[in-house]
Structure 1
Amino acid sequence: MITVGNKRLAVADFEKVLYQQAPVQIDAASLAKVNANFEFLTRYAQDKVIYGINTGLGPMAQYKIDERDQHQLQYNLVRSHSAGAGALFAEDLSRATMLARLNSVMQAASGIHPSAATLLQTLLNKKISACIFERGGVGASGDLVQLAHLALNLLGEGEVLFEGKIQSTKDVFQHQQIEPLQVYLREGLGLMNGTSAMTGVGMVNIIHARYLLGCSIVLSSIANELMKSFDDHFSFELNHVKLHPGQTRVAEMMRELLGDSKLVRKRPDHLYHRKITEAVFTDKVQEYYSLRCIPQILGPVYDTLMEVQTVLENEVNSANDNPVIDHERENVYHGGNFHGDYVSLAMDKLKIATVKLSMLSERQLNYLLNDKLNQKLPSFLNMGVLGLNFGLQGMQFMATSTTAENQTLAFPMYVHSISNNNDNQDIVSMGCNAALITKKVIDNSFDVLAVQLLALMQAIDYLKCQTRLSSFTTKVYEEVRAITPPILEDKPRYNEIKEIRNYLVRLGATIKL
Structure 2
Amino acid sequence: MQSSQQHVVEITGQSLSIEQAVSVSRRGAKVALSSDAIERMSRGRRILEEAISRGERIYGATTSVGPKTTASISQANTAEFSRRLLRTHNAGHGPVAGKDVTRATVLHLLNSLASGTTGARPVLAERLVDALNADRPIAMHLWGSMGQSDMSAMADVALALFDDIELEAGEALALLNSSAMSTAVAVLSFVDLHRLLQFSTLVGALSMEGYAANPSIVSDIALQSRPFSGLHRHGVAIQKYIEGSYILSQGGPRNLQDPLCFRSMALIHGAAEDGLSFSRQQIERELNASQGNPVISLEHGGLAAVANFDMVTLCMALDVMRLAFAPVVTSSTERLAKLVDTTWSGLAIGLIEEDGIGAPGFNGVALFHKSITSEARLLTAPLAGELASSSHSNGVMDRASLAALGGRRGLELADIGKSIVAMELMVAAQAAELRARKPLGKVTSQLFAFARQAIAFAAAGERPPNVQPLLEQLERNRDAVDSMIASQN
After TM superposition, the score normalised by the length of structure 1 is 0.87
Task: Please give the per-residue CA displacement for 1:4-48, whole angstroms capped at 9, x wherever unaligned.
Answer: 117522222222223333222221222221122113312321222
2:35 to 12, 16, 28: 28
Task: Please give the per-residue CA displacement for 1:116-159, whole angstroms capped at 9, x wherever unaligned.
Answer: 2122122222222432212111112x111121211121124xxx
Aligned residue number for residue 469 of structure 2: 496
Query: Is 2:383 the partner of 1:413?
Result: yes
Query: Is 2:24 the partner of 1:17?
Result: yes
Query: Is 2:463 the partner of 1:487?
Result: no
For residues 504 and 238 of structure 1, do their structure 2 counterparts lie closer, same or farther at Cα, with a shift above 3 Å needed? farther
Q: Write the letter of the residue equivalent to 1:210.
A: H
Q: Which runs of 5+ in 1 are unaligned?
A: 157-179, 272-281
Task: Please give the per-residue CA displacement for 1:354-382, whole angstroms capped at 9, x wherever unaligned.
Answer: 2221111111111111111111x222222
For residues 209 and 458 of structure 1, do their structure 2 counterparts lie closer, same or farther at Cα, with a shift above 3 Å needed? same
Once the 2 structures are TM-superposed, how far is the Cα of residue 501 of structure 1 from its aligned partner? 5.4
Aligned residue number for residue 92 of structure 2: 84
1:346 to 314, 317, 320: 317
Aligned residue number for residue 169 of structure 1: none
Residue pair 1:24, 1:124 contacting (<8 A) in 2 also: yes
Query: Is 2:213 the partner of 1:229?
Result: yes
Aligned residue number for residue 460 of structure 1: 432
The residue correspondences of 1:347-366 to structure 2 (distance < 5 A) are 347-366=318-337
Q: Write the letter of the residue equivalent to 1:330.
A: G
For residues 491 and 481 of structure 1, do their structure 2 counterparts lie closer, same or farther at Cα, with a shift above 3 Å needed? closer
Aligned residue number for residue 254 of structure 1: 238
Q: Write the letter of the residue equivalent to 1:116.
A: L
Once the 2 structures are TM-superposed, how far is the Cα of residue 205 of structure 1 from its aligned partner? 0.7
Once the 2 structures are TM-superposed, how far is the Cα of residue 213 of structure 1 from its aligned partner? 0.5
Secondary structure in 2 matching 1:200: helix
Aligned residue number for residue 168 of structure 2: 184
Once the 2 structures are TM-superposed, how far is the Cα of residue 321 of structure 1 from its aligned partner? 0.8
Partners of 1:387 and 1:85 in 2: how far apart?
A: 52
Task: Please give the per-residue CA displacement for 1:317-348, whole angstroms capped at 9, x wherever unaligned.
Answer: 11211100123311011111111001111111
Query: Is 2:35 the partner of 1:52?
Result: no
Q: Write the letter of the residue equivalent to 2:248.
A: R
For residues 145 and 384 of structure 1, do their structure 2 counterparts lie closer, same or farther at Cα, with a shift above 3 Å needed? farther
Query: Is 2:227 the partner of 1:243?
Result: yes
For residues 55 and 11 of structure 1, do their structure 2 counterparts lie closer, same or farther at Cα, with a shift above 3 Å needed? same
2:161 to 139, 154, 165: 154
Partners of 2:286 and 2:188 in 1: how far apart?
A: 14
Residue pair 1:210, 1:508 contacting (<8 A) in 2 also: no
Query: Is 2:367 the partner of 1:397?
Result: yes
Partners of 2:410 and 2:234 in 1: how far apart?
A: 22
Residue pair 1:210, 1:305 contacting (<8 A) in 2 also: yes
Deviates more, 1:454-463 or 1:80-89: 454-463
Cα RMSD for the two superposed structures: 2.3
Residue pair 1:344, 1:430 contacting (<8 A) in 2 also: yes
Query: Is 2:289 the partner of 1:326?
Result: no
Partners of 2:353 and 2:154 in 1: how far apart?
A: 53
Residue pair 1:143, 1:193 contacting (<8 A) in 2 also: yes
Partners of 2:33 and 2:466 in 1: how far apart?
A: 47
Once the 2 structures are TM-superposed, how far is the Cα of residue 95 of structure 1 from its aligned partner? 1.4
How many residue pairs are counted as aligned between the two chains? 474
Once the 2 structures are TM-superposed, how far is the Cα of residue 97 of structure 1 from its aligned partner? 1.3
Q: Write the letter of the residue equivalent to 2:179.
A: T
The residue correspondences of 1:41-440 to structure 2 (distance < 5 A) are 41-46=48-53, 47-140=55-148, 142-156=149-163, 180-261=164-245, 263-265=246-248, 269=250, 283-375=254-346, 377-382=347-352, 385=355, 387=357, 389-422=359-392, 423-440=395-412
Q: Write the letter of the residue equivalent to 2:19.
A: A
Partners of 1:391 and 1:432 in 2: how far apart?
A: 41
Once the 2 structures are TM-superposed, how far is the Cα of residue 506 of structure 1 from its aligned partner? 5.2
For residues 111 and 18 of structure 1, do their structure 2 counterparts lie closer, same or farther at Cα, with a shift above 3 Å needed? same
Residue pair 1:54, 1:67 contacting (<8 A) in 2 also: yes
Deviates more, 1:17-26 or 1:503-512: 503-512
Aligned residue number for residue 442 of structure 2: 471
Partners of 2:278 and 2:261 in 1: how far apart?
A: 25
Residue pair 1:138, 1:429 contacting (<8 A) in 2 also: yes
For residues 483 and 19 of structure 1, do their structure 2 counterparts lie closer, same or farther at Cα, with a shift above 3 Å needed? farther
Partners of 2:43 and 2:356 in 1: how far apart?
A: 76
Once the 2 structures are TM-superposed, how far is the Cα of residue 394 of structure 1 from its aligned partner? 3.4
**Stretches of 4+ aligned residues off by more than 4 angstroms:** 503-510
Could you tell me the percent identity over the aligned residues? 21
Partners of 1:509 and 1:72 in 2: how far apart?
A: 52
Task: Please give the per-residue CA displacement for 1:246-299, whole angstroms capped at 9, x wherever unaligned.
Answer: 1111111111111222x1235xx459xxxxxxxxxx942211111111121111
Residue pair 1:324, 1:333 contacting (<8 A) in 2 also: yes
Aligned residue number for residue 162 of structure 1: none
Residue pair 2:205, 2:241 contacting (<8 A) in 1 also: yes
For residues 392 and 23 of structure 1, do their structure 2 counterparts lie closer, same or farther at Cα, with a shift above 3 Å needed? farther
Residue pair 1:211, 1:505 contacting (<8 A) in 2 also: no
Once the 2 structures are TM-superposed, how far is the Cα of residue 115 of structure 1 from its aligned partner? 1.7
Q: Write the letter of the residue equivalent to 2:447.
A: V
Partners of 1:73 and 1:97 in 2: how far apart?
A: 24
Q: Write the letter of the residue equivalent to 2:183.
A: T
Once the 2 structures are TM-superposed, how far is the Cα of residue 181 of structure 1 from its aligned partner? 4.1
For residues 384 and 193 of structure 1, do their structure 2 counterparts lie closer, same or farther at Cα, with a shift above 3 Å needed? farther
Q: Which runs of 5+ in 2 are unaligned?
A: 1-7
Partners of 1:129 and 1:433 in 2: how far apart?
A: 23
For residues 481 and 49 of structure 1, do their structure 2 counterparts lie closer, same or farther at Cα, with a shift above 3 Å needed? same
Partners of 1:341 and 1:419 in 2: how far apart?
A: 14
Partners of 1:492 and 1:264 in 2: how far apart?
A: 27
Residue pair 1:59, 1:421 contacting (<8 A) in 2 also: no
